[in-house]
Amino acid sequence: MSRWGTGALGRVVRSGVGRRRVQLVVIVVSTMMAVASAVVAGSLMVAVNAPFDRAFAQQNGAHLTAQFDPRKTSAAQLAATEQLDEVTASAGPYPTTTVEPIGEGGGHLPSLTVVGRAEPGGTVDKLELKSGRWAQKPGEIVLSSSFKGPMLTLGSTLKSSDAKDAVTLTVVGFALSASETADAWVTPAQAGTLAPKGQPATQQMLYRFEQADTSGQITAARKQIAAAVPSGALLGSQSYLDTKQAAEQGAAATVPFLMAFGVLGIVMSVIIVGSVVSGAVGTGLRRIGILKAIGFTPREVVRAYVAQALIPAGAGIALGVVLGNVLAVPLLANTEQAYGTVSLTVAWWVNLVVPAAALLVVGVAALVPALRAGRLRTVEAIAVGRAPRTGRGQWAHRAAGRLPLPRAVTYGLASPFAHPVRTFALLLAVVFGTVTATFAVGLTQSLNAVGSAADPEERAAVTAIAGGGRGGGPAGPGREPGTVGREQKPAGREQPAGREQQPAGQAPAPASADPAKVAAAIEAQSGTASYYGLYEEEVRVTGASGAVRATFYQGDTGSGSYEMISGRWFEGPGEAVVPTRFFERTGTSIGDTVRVTLGKDTQTLRIVGEVFDTSDDGMHLRADMATFAAAKPQMFQIDVESGVDAVEYAEQLAAKIAPLGGHAVAQEPAEAEAMIILLDAMAVLLTLMLVSVASLGVLNSVVLDTRERVHDLGVCKALGMSPRQTVSLVLASVAGIGVIGGLVGVPAGFALHGYVLPVMGDSAGTNLPPSVLEVYDAVQLSLLGLAGIAIAMLGAMLPAGWAARTRTATALRTE
């Protein structure tokens, strides 16, 4: 009798588990859902916790990517740098060049840093091939996975330039480099042929260092490498720390969101599991007394009831781990795509820690009431088990009886006061379920508002290209037209080393088409509703280190203006708007002036507004094009009149401006960003799981209450209470709790949203506009207030139906 599985104690455990079928199901399902939600949330928190570090470690990423002049150093000299004291591993030299590709439609694509590598592996920067295969012969190219999209897929072709003898390259694969050592890869022989005539391909070396935790250590190692090669041989380099900072900035924004759901899930699990197990033990007091009467010791009673809770909970935990892993797979796949990281799986320790913690919670929740039962005297246990304590909640029955409601309803409304502890646990479950629903609704609306506020250029129906400058080409690969000269790279990341960049502040190259003639053609085109011109270039801003990206606007910018956080959009020359981070890095504020230099022209601009914009790491200035005489439109964003087909409009406009050297394309509706889709999916999934757990807690409590009152229900039925009235009685017993839960949960969810969203924005380096923060309205909050009632009613429906179907004679015989 000393073990759970055999003897009298084992029979007691098995009998207790088998005879409480409803509670068995509730314990199994509630623990399953709680564990599954914890596995999903835990896996996603692990996935977004330093995704760059994991990808970098798995790929043995390069701490430093360096470019060398092959005319000043040899391959043998470069290979010898691996013997330097600070260098632990190196790879290369790889031939490297920059191309200005032309897409299948004839449009210019952003410049690409192309590296010649025979295979994706190596001692440093072991690339992960995300799809397709590696380039094996001339005419094949592998692109960075960040370029994959509707415009560039496997099998797509592009030309290396707009020259007549340009090389045609077929996309055969997409690969990921955590170090961002290149935009594309070809065979080593192909890289040499892509280099401009008279300019041999530079040589790329990838290094790993013994000490590389700080920029100072990277700089010291770089100086050692520069000293080991001939003077002037080192052309440029890129530290992995810059790439890491940009990558982790995006991941940081999701941590507050996941922590909020994680805390809600943990609290909900403790409440529900504790309530379920405590109720199961509490309703077995009479049986406990009988066991003591036939010779069971207090220790054996405690062990028996803890085991009765742990067995179904263990089954639920095992199922929850499996379910959590299944549900986490698609979300981790979306996370992998959103962060551009290596393949993600559920961390092995999550599958160990979560079930262990769940077993501990269940064990503690069962142990506390079991110890209380073990200390009861035999006669007291039997007496308490046979007849509930009288007097509890009588005042509630008297007060409810004065209400002008049917007697069945008032009886139900007063019932919860007979078990205040159980009712409080039930109320907490409903409150947290309502908090989760309210927070999730607001979060998804805010995320969708973020998606709508970002990249307003994509709202235009048609884009006309005039050319010129660095931003002269049409939309970059993997995205729809609409972002002037913007690299199709994960947001905020720096350009790979070796990219030939036009020095900041220099005047752009002449336009390939006269912007005035293109604008005149747009004006004359039938179906034009409105349009505005864009010019983008790097400028110098006094007080800001390094180059600052600037976009200048011409014409009606109403549809192209960014969401304002504070202040207003610029209204004419001499005014500018900037993002949050610009203020932080320059120490300025709205109303201050800054000196901006484009080429040789320097102007003083007054900052009139703070815009919601995270591009270029928040260092992006937007102003009127008339501010600088050298600024001419590179691109026009066009809105067409209602009923006008954008594709047909673009074809007609393209035919008119093609002889001028311009181009026009219709923009497809912008797809939602991968990160927003991911967060929406996580919010919906976790909300459904946690609300389901809350409803199961209600179900368990109502089952316990109904079974305790089954004899009273039999008396009521004998006096004429109909099945419909019985259902009303049971539902009324949770209605008041649902109302209170809604009244408490909605404000709490509203407050949680108001706290988490600014923290998410701060993690991403920006304040948030009112359109993102103020997403609730009075009607919506009123409807969300019904969530508490809905959760309570949903959980009470099954036991209400069971009570209504119970025969009067059966109920009267039940004690």
* CA pair distance 4, 18, nearest whole angstrom: 15
The token pair at 373 is 């039962």
Residues 6+ apart with CB under 8 A from 393: 414, 415, 416, 417, 418
* CA pair distance 64, 207, nearest whole angstrom: 5
Does some domain include residue 133? yes
Among candidate residues 611, 13, 719, 621, the one with its CA nearest the CA of residue 303: 13
* CA pair distance 482, 472, nearest whole angstrom: 12
pLDDT over threshold 60, residue 251: no
Taking the C-alpha atoms of 499, 635, 662 and 166 in order, what is their torsion angle to the nearest 10 degrees?
A: 10
pLDDT over threshold 60, residue 232: yes
Residues 495 and 368 in one domain: no
Residues 440 and 338 in one domain: no
Q: Mark out the alpha helices in 532-592 (DSSP H runs).
A: 580-586
What is the structure's pLDDT at 505? Answer: 36
Sign of dihedral through CA atoms 762, 766, 767, 769?
A: negative
What is the structure's pLDDT at 662? Answer: 81
* Mean pLDDT confidence for 246-255: 61
* pLDDT confidence tier of residue 92, bands split at 50, 70 and 90: confident
**380: amino acid identity, one letter:** E
Final residue before a domain boundary, out of 185, 202, 232: 232
What is the structure's pLDDT at 504? Answer: 35
Q: Which of 333-342, 448-457, 733-742 has the weakest average pLDDT?
A: 333-342
| 61-87 residue pLDDT tens | 889 999 999 989 998 899 899 888 889
* CA pair distance 277, 696, nearest whole angstrom: 13
Domain count, the chain: 4
Partner residues linked to 752 by β-bridges: none
* pLDDT confidence tier of residue 711, bands split at 50, 70 and 90: low
What is the structure's pLDDT at 94? Answer: 92
Among candidate residues 239, 246, 176, the one with its CA nearest the CA of residue 213: 239
* Mean pLDDT confidence for 586-592: 88
**519: amino acid identity, one letter:** A
* pLDDT confidence tier of residue 493, bands split at 50, 70 and 90: very low
Percentage, residues of the chain above pLDDT 70: 76
What is the structure's pLDDT at 496? Answer: 35
Question: When comparing pLDDT for 805 and 188, which is higher?
Answer: 188
Does some domain include residue 203? yes
Residues 714 and 660 in one domain: no
- The label of the residue with tokens 């109502």 reads 702
* DSSP assignments along 180-221, one per residue: ---SEEE-HHHHHHHSPTTSPPEEEEEEEES--SSHHHHHHH
* CA pair distance 615, 494, nearest whole angstrom: 11
* CA pair distance 580, 186, nearest whole angstrom: 40
* CA pair distance 275, 180, nearest whole angstrom: 51
* CA pair distance 224, 357, nearest whole angstrom: 50
What is the structure's pLDDT at 105? Answer: 65
Among candidate residues 660, 636, 594, 634, the one with its CA nearest the CA of residue 507: 634
pLDDT over threshold 80, residue 394: no
* pLDDT confidence tier of residue 451, bands split at 50, 70 and 90: confident
What is the structure's pLDDT at 484? Answer: 27
Question: When comparing pLDDT for 504 and 144, which is higher?
Answer: 144
Taking the C-alpha atoms of 488, 489, 493 and 497 in order, what is their torsion angle to the nearest 10 degrees?
A: -90
Among candidate residues 291, 273, 377, 265, the one with its CA nearest the CA of residue 686: 265
* CA pair distance 469, 486, nearest whole angstrom: 12
The neighbour count for residue 740, using CB atoms within 10 Å, is 16
**368: amino acid identity, one letter:** V
CA distances 319 to 35, 308, 323, 385, 689, Å, are 9, 18, 6, 33, 14
Q: Is 663 exposed, middle or buried (0-12, 13-18, 19+ CB in 10 A)?
A: buried
| 769-792 residue pLDDT tens | 888 888 898 888 988 888 888 888
What is the structure's pLDDT at 381? Answer: 61
* Mean pLDDT confidence for 9-38: 70
**398: amino acid identity, one letter:** R
Q: Mark out the alpha helices in 283-349 (DSSP H runs).
A: 285-293, 298-339
pLDDT over threshold 50, residue 494: no
What is the structure's pLDDT at 142? Answer: 93
Does some domain include residue 638? yes
Average pLDDT, the chain: 77
**423: amino acid identity, one letter:** T
Residues 328 and 193 in one domain: no
| 112-161 residue pLDDT tens | 889 999 998 888 988 888 889 999 998 999 998 877 766 788 888 888 88
What is the structure's pLDDT at 43? Answer: 75
pLDDT over threshold 60, residue 575: yes
Among candidate residues 647, 479, 618, 460, the one with its CA nearest the CA of residue 549: 618
Residues 338 and 203 in one domain: no
Does some domain include residue 239? no
pLDDT over threshold 50, residue 643: yes
What is the structure's pLDDT at 750? Answer: 93
| 271-285 residue pLDDT tens | 766 676 666 666 666
pLDDT over threshold 60, residue 387: no
Cα-flanking dihedrals φ and ψ of residue 654, to 5°?
-60, -40
Residues 427 and 465 in one domain: no
* CA pair distance 127, 386, nearest whole angstrom: 70
Phi-psi region of 431 (alpha: psi -120 to 50; beta: other; left: phi over 0): alpha
The neighbour count for residue 641, using CB atoms within 10 Å, is 12
The token pair at 744 is 């408490």
Final residue before a domain boundary, out of 666, 686, 709: 666
Does some domain include residue 26? yes
Q: Residue 673: helix, strand or coil by DSSP?
A: coil
* CA pair distance 241, 212, nearest whole angstrom: 9
Residues 294 and 379 in one domain: yes
* pLDDT confidence tier of residue 172, bands split at 50, 70 and 90: very high
Residues 497 and 448 in one domain: no
The neighbour count for residue 464, using CB atoms within 10 Å, is 30
* CA pair distance 76, 91, nearest whole angstrom: 13
pLDDT over threshold 80, residue 46: no
**What domain range is 709 assigned to?**
388-454+673-815
Residues 478 and 512 in one domain: yes
pLDDT over threshold 50, residue 755: yes
331-340, 458-467, 754-763: range with highest mean pLDDT: 754-763
What is the structure's pLDDT at 669? Answer: 58
Final residue before a domain boundary, out of 202, 232, 262: 232
Residues 622 and 499 in one domain: yes
* pLDDT confidence tier of residue 471, bands split at 50, 70 and 90: very low
* CA pair distance 120, 118, nearest whole angstrom: 7
Residues 614 and 658 in one domain: yes
**C-alpha R_g of the chain:** 34
Question: How big is the CA angle at 296 (ends 294 and 299), to the nearest 5 degrees?
Answer: 165
Q: Which of 262-266, 364-368, 678-682 has the weakest average pLDDT?
A: 262-266
* Mean pLDDT confidence for 304-313: 79
* pLDDT confidence tier of residue 480, bands split at 50, 70 and 90: very low
Residues 6+ apart with CB under 8 A from 31: 269, 273, 312, 313, 316, 317, 320, 358, 362
* pLDDT confidence tier of residue 748, bands split at 50, 70 and 90: very high
Sign of dihedral through CA atoms 591, 769, 585, 496?
A: negative
What is the structure's pLDDT at 101? Answer: 85
Q: Is 781 exposed, middle or buried (0-12, 13-18, 19+ CB in 10 A)?
A: middle
Q: Which of 98-102, 201-205, 351-355, 671-675 has the weakest average pLDDT?
A: 671-675
Residues 689 and 753 in one domain: yes
Does some domain include residue 522? yes
Cα-flanking dihedrals φ and ψ of residue 86, to 5°?
-80, -20
What is the structure's pLDDT at 756? Answer: 86
* Mean pLDDT confidence for 760-765: 78
What is the structure's pLDDT at 141? Answer: 93
Does some domain include residue 238? no
| 151-169 residue pLDDT tens | 788 888 888 887 778 889 9
* pLDDT confidence tier of residue 576, bands split at 50, 70 and 90: very high
Does some domain include residue 237? no
The token pair at 457 is 């250029």
